[in-house]
Structure 1
Amino acid sequence: MGSKVWTAGNLYVNQSGKIVQLMAVARQEGSAQELAIYQEMHAPFTVWAKSLSAFEATYHKMAEVLEEKRAPQERTAEASGEERAPQERVVEASGAKSALQESVSEVSAQDLSQENESEASENQRAQGENVPAGGTDVSEEELRMALEKGQPEKYLSGRITETEIARRGMLQILDAESFREKRQLLVGLRPYIDKLLLHNIAAALDVVLEEGTLDDQFESLLHCVDAHARYEGGRLRS
């Protein structure tokens, strides 16, 4: 893969918002093909193996995705003469709570096919809705405002798919500078959160969710975010 550096522990995300953590880059015995060994950042934390080229085509480094989302706003600010303080936000590995198994068997073609079919199904569902598939007419500022007001359906109805609201909303939560902001966005995104998305957000925030219903797990995550927000507020006042 050229001179590209692959670092174990980095988080990656695909177009549907699925987050994984790169565990290692290995070589297949015999063919010497490079393989990406990675783990899903949601229960049951399955470990997968995929050719490095296929992994690179499917997943993108989360830190770079967040940076690309931020870049247009920064360029606009520079053009208008606004002064912005340097921002250096690094998305670190969340530290999966389950370790890499002692041996990783080669993933069968059936397993990879099921994973690809799942992603294709989600993309087809998003495109099937009678709204722009990418939600390109909704800016990040509009999406943030709608989530903060807790009424995304009022401001975004017919302009962006629910799948896209969930995907972009998750990235906004992870990109928020404070836990108070993360909480506000999390509450606004609640109608669009399923278990997969909830576990992705929790894993990225280094929160382990206990078994339970979606509502129970959401409240558990919200409680953890509240605790961080209180600690954050107390630290700023001290």
Structure 2
Amino acid sequence: MLKVVLRLLADAVLVATALFVSAGTLAWPRAWVLLTVLLLVRTIGAFAVHRTNPELLRERAGLPLHAEQPWADRVLLLGVLATGFLGTPAVAALDAFHWHLLPQPARPVAGLGLVLFALGWSLKSLALYANAFAVATVRVQRERAHAVADSGVYRVVRHPFYAADPLIFVGLALWLGSYTAALTAVAPVALMVVRLRLEERVLQRELPGYAAYAARVRHRLVPGVW
């Protein structure tokens, strides 16, 4: 569990660096609140997931690379991390302190953003809790007897872990006071959708039972929409 906690702290430090370097100041209360919520929600989720899927958490605490991972997935994953989990905070900070391209969200909208941010990370924890095979790389884990996950949030959509990303990116941008950053979140979301389609092709081709699961759970990200 120590390795997992260290990974959570390292991720928070990276986000903090993107925020405060881009802002040019540490005197940003909303950024500190965001980081506190990030660590709190992710830590609570990690301890909950560790009770059921400790091996999954240990693997996710390492680098998101694997020998069996398609090269396209490596590019897409790094793209999502760079443009979303680091790029969106950086754009929000630059806009809030330097650019001022659009009016700032009203307080209720900003507060809603923080709620969406927390919900997004909570949804990721629920996905990890329900799916012991939700590793960071696209591959079929034959060494672990990979099987289809169809319980919990996986009964609602096929990719709940990915469905959390728009909530996180847009919520973060709104809370930090930048409609511009919320709009630029379309880039990491688009990359995430391309990655999702790649993963679906791999699972349909190589994971027994996935085609039947996809027929039962028809929507990928948004219930009743897609």
Query: Which structure is larger by alpha-carbon Rg, 1 or 2?
Result: 1
- TM-score by length of structure 1 reads 0.31
Which one has the bigger helix percentage?
Answer: 2
Higher strand proportion: 1
TM-score by length of 2: 0.33
